[in-house]
Structure formats: structure tokens, C-alpha cells
Amino acid sequence: MSNTQGPPPLPPPPVPASPGPGSPQDVPPLPGELGVDPTTLPGPIRDELLAPDPQAIDTASDELKDGLNRCPKCGSTDIRQRAGTDLLICLYCRHEWRGERVEEAFGFGEGIDQLSGTVIASGARDIAADAASLMTFKCTGCGAEVTVNTDHAMTARCHWCRHVFGVNEQIPNGAVPDAVLPFHIKQDDAVARIRQFVDKRRLFALKAFKEQFTPENVVGVYLPYMIVDGNVSADVAGHGEVETRRYTRGNDKNKQTYYDADVYRIDRHVDFTVDDLPIESSATRGNLDTGTNTNNIINAILPFDTKNAVKWNASYLSGFTSEKRDRDVEQLRPRLEDQLLSIARAQVHASVARFDRGVRWEQERLAVHGTRWVAMYLPVWLYSYHQPGRNGGMLHYIAVNGRTGETMGSVPIQQWKLLSVALTVGTFLEGAALWFLAHAS
């Protein structure tokens, strides 16, 4: 672009000016985008950056232990999830059956463009204010009382006879979701992925983190989401510019590029439907403020193959913990509308390509014709590390999608080490610049 003819051609700046740490409110970068060219960096840093990402290892799963769900054929309670499938199998009579997919059972895939009003599946109803977290069952095996704390788990084991109880009935308080997507990635696999993820990030990792790193401590958690379909229209309006002429003024020593442009007032309208948009239905997990937490890590492993979710059945939850939903449809609506507007903006992008000097959108409008809400548990492997510090420190997560194996994490940094390396590289570059200036003139 700006080539000066007097002095010899200048080397381009080695790295672009960087916009800081970034935020989940920005459109996330494409996979593999880094911001610096690794080949310009010192060997050890380059090797770390170029190391392979976590890979699929094995998607079989034998995590799910016995549940008290009864076999539809013989009535036995010895039921497991069949490894790597969404099937349940009776270990007594070998009968196999599939939890009914909610997609077909309730027709969730169809008629999105006909949606009107707000359709709420039974498990997505408002949570009753007096909904008790503790539910007590009388064990049919031995008569003991067994308590399930639905804040953290949907199953519990009888201390006396080892029967497993699950909250299988949909009590009308919104605490039990409509559907569950069973784990496919088994624990060994999740451990391997987390190990690979951290192996790629050791140079500048906090020393205490590296010393205490035990990925075997990963826990399988079912996290609560609302899966939303929507039928909407959106309008955006603003100004765009088309370049008509480009020319330079000034002498060789001081040359400037000038532009002429046409300014347009533009507006766009788009009608669209979205299928299975996942939204965190726990207030804690939905808070993506990277200044105070690393929940954006868990958000980043979305989406899931929610089309394969099965009707609620606590047998799938044995051996895992779960988090309870604490947000109702109306509380999540602003978040949904925000995402629908973002999708609309992405949809109209191609239609303003001719405005080569860019577009400044100034107004936007959203008309929600209809939405459908389904409460669902999604499977996530979570490794967490608490970094001590001010205001309670920071809880770092490495999360593995329990279906796809997609892995994302936050590794605490040894600040002084990273700073000193950055300053060293900066000093070296500055030295090279000074040398160049001294020899160019």
C-alpha cells in the first residue's frame, strides 16, 4: 500500500497491533486463528503454539452404572447405558431399548416457520418458588429412606442395599427437564483431551497449576440448557460507503492516500427460523463476564447434537452430577433476542458486500413471531482449578463436550514470565529497528 521510494523498502511490522484479551461479546475467531505468526517467534513458544490440538480418541462410554429404572420386559432394575450408544440395556434379560428421541416424540423438529406465540415444553415451565431441592424416596428393596438433592444430582444410592434411585417423574415444579442428551465421550477420553490441551500450554502456565494438575479429577456434569426454536423477522438500517476514487497527494517523502466515496442510506429485512439454539438456563453459567469467571469456556464447547436427545430418564444420569436450572423463559428472553439480532446481522452481511468501505448499522428491529422452549440436560466433562487471588481469585475450567469431544479451557498464567518474554522480544525488535534506522540513512 504505502511504498516509499526514497529509502530502501521497509520490512513490514512483524506483528499486527493486538486488540487486547478479547471478550465473548466479540464474534469468536475462526478455529486456529492466533493473532501472531508463530514462525516469527522463539523456538519453544513456536513449538507450543504449533503442537496438535486435542483429537478424538475413543467415543465409547461405560460410565453409566445401574439405575432403578425398570426394564420394560422383565422388571429388573439392573439397567445400563449401552457403551457408546444412546441405548439402555437390561443386564438380566438383555432387552435393549432406546430412550425415545424428543425430536420425534414431541415433533420438535417440525413447523418452526409456523410457530406463533411462546410454546413451552412441560419441563421448561417456570420453577415453582417453593420447589424443594430434597426429595425423599422409600426404598422398595429394603424400606430405608433415601434422599436425592436435586440441586446437584438426580440420582442417589441406597446406603443399605445399593439400589439406585432416580428422580424419574416430572414433578410439576420445572426442576426436571424435558430431555437429556447422554454422555458419549468416556472419562478416559476426556482425561486424554484435557491433558493434550494443557500440554500445549505449559511454558507460561502458573507453576502451582502445573504441580497440581490431575486431569483424572475431571467430573461429568449434566448442565441445564434451554433449547430454543424461533420464527422471527429482523430489520436493520444504517449507512454504507462505496469507494469511487483513490489517489495520492504530496511528494515522495510525504505521500498520503485520499479517497472519494458515495454514501448510501441502506436498510435490510430478513425473515428466518433458528433450530435448536442452546441457552444456559443457570444464572451462574450464563454469566460470561471474563473479568470475573471463565464460564465462556463452557459456552465455547457448544453446540451439541441436540437432535439426538432422549426423553427424560434418570437412568442416564447415574454416576454423574447435575446442576439445577434457576432461570425461567421470561428471564432468558433478552438473551435470546440478543442472539437472534446477532444472527440477523450475520445473515444480511453478504447483501451489503458492495459497500467496500464498510457499513455502519445504526438501528435494528426484531419481531419474534414464535418461540418454542425445551429444557434439556447436556453432558459436559469439567476440570476445574481455583487460582487464589483478590476477590476470591478465579475459577478456571477446562471443558470437554460429552458428545463431540470439543475441548476448550482456561489455563492460569505465570504473569511475570509472560511479561518478561514479551518485553524481551519487544526489546529485540526495537534493537533491530534502531539498527535499521541507523544504517538506512
* 390-409 residues near another protein, rule: CB under 8 A: 408-409
Please state, in angstroms and rounded to a whole number, the distance separating the CA atoms of residues 12 and 5: 15
Distance of alpha carbon 166 from alpha carbon 218, whole angstroms: 23
Residue among 180, 193, 155 at smallest CA distance from 401: 193
For residue 210, give the nearest of 48, 411, 5, 396 by alpha carbon. Answer: 411
3-class SS of residue 50: helix
Q: Are 395 and 293 in contact (CB under 8 A)?
A: yes
Binding segment (CB under 8 A) for another protein, from list 15-23, 212-220, 324-332, 370-378: 15-23
CB 148, min distance to Zn ion, A: 13
DSSP letters spanning 113-154:
GG--EEEE-GGGSPPPTT--SEEEEE-TTT--EEEEETTT-S
**Residue span 43-82 as binding mask against another protein, x where in contact by CB under 8 A, dash where not:** --x---x---------------------------------
Going residue by residue from 413 to 432, which x/- string records binding to another protein, judged by CB under 8 A?
x----xx-xxx-xxx-xxxx
73 binds Zn ion (CB under 5 A): yes
Decide: helix, strand or coil at residue 174. Answer: coil
Residue 120's identity, in one-letter code, is: I
Q: Which of 7, 117, 143, 393 binds another protein (CB under 8 A)?
A: 7
Of 82, 163, 201, 285, the residue at the interface with another protein (CB under 8 A) is: 201
* Span of 71-79, 210-218, 317-325, 357-365 interacting with another protein by CB under 8 A: 357-365
Question: What whole-number distance in Å separates Cα of residue 279 and Cα of residue 267?
Answer: 29
Grid coordinates representing 112 are 418452526
Q: Residue 84 or 141: which CB sits closer to Zn ion?
A: 141
Q: How far apart are CA 441 and CA 434, in angstroms?
A: 11
Stretch of 33-41, 104-112, 135-143, 312-320 lying at the interface with Zn ion (CB under 5 A): 135-143
Task: Give the one entry of Zn ion, another protein, none that residue 93 binds, where binding means its C-beta sits below a cut-off of 5 to 8 angstroms depending on kind.
Answer: Zn ion
Binds another protein by CB under 8 A, chosen from 339, 369, 395, 404:
339
Query: Which cell goes with 304?
Result: 451439541
Burial class (CB in 10 A: 0-12, 13-18, 19+), 130: exposed
Cα–Cα distance measured from residue 255 to residue 248, given in angstroms and rounded to the nearest whole number: 6
258 binds, among Zn ion, another protein, none (CB under 5 to 8 A by kind): another protein
Distance, C-alpha 441 to centroid of its chain: 53
Residue 158 interacts with Zn ion (CB under 5 A): yes or no: yes
Between 10 and 74, name the residue whose CB sits nearer to Zn ion: 74
**Alpha helices (H) in 287-364, listed in sequence order:** 295-300, 329-348
Ranges within 258-317 binding another protein (CB under 8 A)? 258-278, 288, 290, 294, 296-297, 299-303
Q: Which stretch binds another protein (CB under 8 A): 60-68, 179-187, 378-386, 433-441?
A: 433-441
SS3 216: helix
Q: Per-residue x/- mask for another protein, residues 148 to 187, rule CB under 8 A?
A: ----------------------------------------
Q: Which residues here bind Zn ion, judged by CB under 5 A? A: 71, 73-74, 76, 90, 92-93, 95, 139, 141-142, 144, 158, 160-161, 163
